Amino acid sequence: MLPEWRSLAHMQCPLSELLEFGAQLTIGAKISGFGGVGYLLADKGAPIGAHFSDDFRNLKGNEALEYIQERPLLEYEIRIYTADEMNQAINHCAAQGWMIPDSSPRRDTIDTDTLVTEETLLSIAKQRGVIVVSAFFEGFPVQSVGIGDFEYEAAIAEDLLRAGNKISEDLGIGPLDQMIIETPKGKYLIAPYRDLSLFVHTTPEAHLGMIRLALKGIQ
């Protein structure tokens, strides 16, 4: 079966815009429109599996992809996958006959290093005082550990990241490496992580030096 679904974004667009959105990610998308429903699995903008069915057709693989590509506008409900979810989605697509032969990667050749895992985040979460660690993309949490409102905090972190990038650009001091916000009630640290970004929410007593060292260890 497909990974547990937690919708992170909705797009109403042609397929090309969806693939552009996910050009650096692994995504699954539920599809609706033109009286039918479907599913698309894509890795870094390349479709891997596809399905579309309505009252008249049940299309799989390349046939489904061609049909989806020809529709001028479809509704996509998007889920960004972790490495484990990617493998689960590939297994399901293969079992259902949804794989696209010309572009389907072997599971042992997928670059899962670009996908954040729970183990990666736990290496930071084990530091003293850490409340939440979350990897996010465009304001949506991809993988999170800890206790908190991940979606709300990821949206705030995205706003902070964009503001920080603009400030560093205006100052001419190069690309942003890390952002730290410290108050009497807690600390926030935001840092890039490959194609994603990370935010870390801590208690006031957390040792930022150790957390920054842990972040450097995974980057």
Note the pTM of the prediction, 2 decimals: 0.58
Nearest to 211 by CA among 134, 120, 124: 124
Q: Residue 82: its pLDDT value, please?
A: 81
- CA dist 93 → 40, 126, 148, 178 (Å): 9, 35, 33, 38
Q: Residue 12: its pLDDT value, please?
A: 96
Question: How far is the C-alpha of 47 from the C-alpha of 42, rounded, in Å?
Answer: 4
Q: Residue 107: its pLDDT value, please?
A: 43
Burial class from Cβ neighbours inside 10 Å (0-12, 13-18, 19+) for residue 109 reads exposed
Domains and CATH numbers, the chain: 9-110 (no CATH), 116-218 (3.30.450.30)
Instruction: Give the strand pairing for 179-183 and 140-146.
Output: unpaired
Question: How far is the C-alpha of 164 from the C-alpha of 116, rounded, in Å?
Answer: 23
Per the CB < 8 A criterion, the answer to whether 47 and 103 are in contact is yes
pLDDT tens for the chain, 219 residues long, are: 898 888 888 999 999 999 999 888 889 999 999 999 999 999 889 999 999 999 999 999 999 999 999 999 999 999 988 877 888 898 898 889 999 875 544 444 444 445 567 788 888 999 999 999 998 888 888 888 988 888 889 889 999 999 998 999 999 998 888 899 999 999 999 988 877 889 999 999 998 888 988 887 776
